Amino acid sequence: MSRRHHEDKDLEADRIWFERHVGQELAKLDADSEPSPVRIQDMERFVAEHKRHVKAKLRKELAALWLIAVILFCGMQWVVERSWIWFAAFQSAAAIGGIMGAAAFYAKGLRAWKKR
Amino acid sequence: MQDEEELLKAAIRGDERALSRLLQHHYPFLFQYALKLTMNRHRAEDIAQDTMLKAIENISGFQFRAKFSTWLLTIASRLVIDGARRRERERKWLRKEEAEWTNRGAESRRMKDWPHALQALGELEEQVRIPVLLKYYYGYSQDEIADMLDIPAGTVKSRLHAGVKRLRKELADSE
C-alpha cells in the first residue's frame, strides 16, 4: 500500500475520531452560543463610522507625506545652491537606499511565493 | 438575503449598505468561529469586531478567490495568530512569570465548567487549534488551510497530526 494511501486513511481515522469526541461538543457550543442578532441600522452606523475613520487617517498620512516631500525638496534646494558634490552624494545615497529597499521587498515576496 | 455575489460586487464598489448587510448576515457565524478559537466570549466579541473592521478596510481588494465567509475566517484566524505571537513576545520581553501564571489561571478557571473535549481543545496552542478546527469541524482541505494561514501545506499536515494526537491523549487521560 502506498504511503499516500496510508496518510489518507490516518486523516480519515482522525476525522472520524474528532467528529465523535470533539465535533459533537462543538456543535452543542454553536447551538448554545448563537449571538443576539445585530440590527441592520447598527451595522450600517458601524460601517459608516469606520469608513470615516479610515478616510481621516488616510488624509492625515497624505498630509504628512506632502510635508516630508516639501521639507526634502527645500532641503535639497538649499544643498544644491551650496555644493554640487554634497547634492550628488545625497542623491546617490537615496538611490542606493531605494535599490536596497526594492531588493529586500522583492526577496521577501519571492520567499513568500516559494513557501506556498 | 439578496444574492451574495451581487451584494459583494456592490460592497466592492463602495456601497456601505451592501457591506453592512453582508456583515450582519455573517456575524453569528464569525462570532461562533471566534469563540472556538479563543474559548472566551469577550475575546471572541473583540476578534469578531476586529475582523469586521479589517473587512471594511479591505473589501475593495476582495477577489472572489474564496467565499466571503472563508475570507472572514481567514482574517479572524490571522488576527488570533498575530495576537498569540504578540502575547508571546511580550511575555518573553517582560519575563513576568507570575503575571503569566495569573493569566493562565484565569483562563483555566473560565474554562473549568466546559466539557472535557472543549477544555482539551482550548489547551492547544492557537497555531495548532486553528488548522484542527478548520479541517475537522469546518471541512476545509489542507491546501485551503495552508492558503488561509499563509503557511506550507506540510506544516498544516504536521499541526493536524500533532493536534489530534494531543487531543486523543488529553481525553484518554481524563477518562
* Pair (A43, A75) in one structural domain: yes
Which residues 66-105 in chain A show a CB within 8 A of chain B? none
Report the alpha-carbon distance of residue A21 to residue A11 in Å, rounded.
15
A35 touches chain B (CB under 8 A): yes
* Pair (A27, A43) in one structural domain: no
* Pair (A27, A48) in one structural domain: no
Q: Exposed/middle/buried for B97, CB within 10 Å: 0-12, 13-18, 19+? A: exposed
Domains, chain B, ordered by start: 1-81 (1.10.1740.10), 115-175 (1.10.10.10)
List CB contacts (< 8 A) between A26 and chain B: 36, 118, 121, 133, 137
* Pair (A42, A72) in one structural domain: yes
Give the closest-approach CA distance of B151 to chain A in angstroms.
Answer: 7
Interface ipTM: 0.79
Query: The whole model's pTM is what?
Result: 0.78
Could you tell me the end-to-end alpha-carbon distance of chain A, in angstroms, rounded to an integer? 28
* Pair (A74, A92) in one structural domain: no
pLDDT tens track, chain B, 175 positions? 668 999 999 999 999 999 999 999 999 999 999 999 988 889 999 999 999 999 999 999 999 989 999 999 999 999 999 888 887 777 777 665 555 544 444 454 556 677 889 999 999 999 999 999 999 999 999 999 999 999 999 999 999 999 999 999 988 877 6
Q: How many domains is chain A partitioned into structurally?
A: 3
Q: CB A115 to CB B152 under 8 A?
A: yes
CB pairs under 8 A between A and B: 90
List CB contacts (< 8 A) between A14 and chain B: 136, 160-161, 164
Report the alpha-carbon distance of residue B127 to residue A106 in Å, rounded.
27
**Degrees, nearest 5: CA angle B22-A24-B37:** 50
Helix (H) or strand (E) holding A90: helix A84-115
Cβ atoms of B64 and B8 closer than 8 Å: yes
Q: What share of chain A is helix, strand, coil (3-state, %, to 5)?
A: 90, 0, 10
Report the alpha-carbon distance of residue A37 to residue B52 in Å, rounded.
15
State which residues form the domain around A112: 84-116
Q: CB B17 to CB A34 under 8 A?
A: no
Could you read off the pLDDT of A28-62 as tens digits, one per residue? Answer: 999 988 888 889 999 999 999 999 999 999 999 99
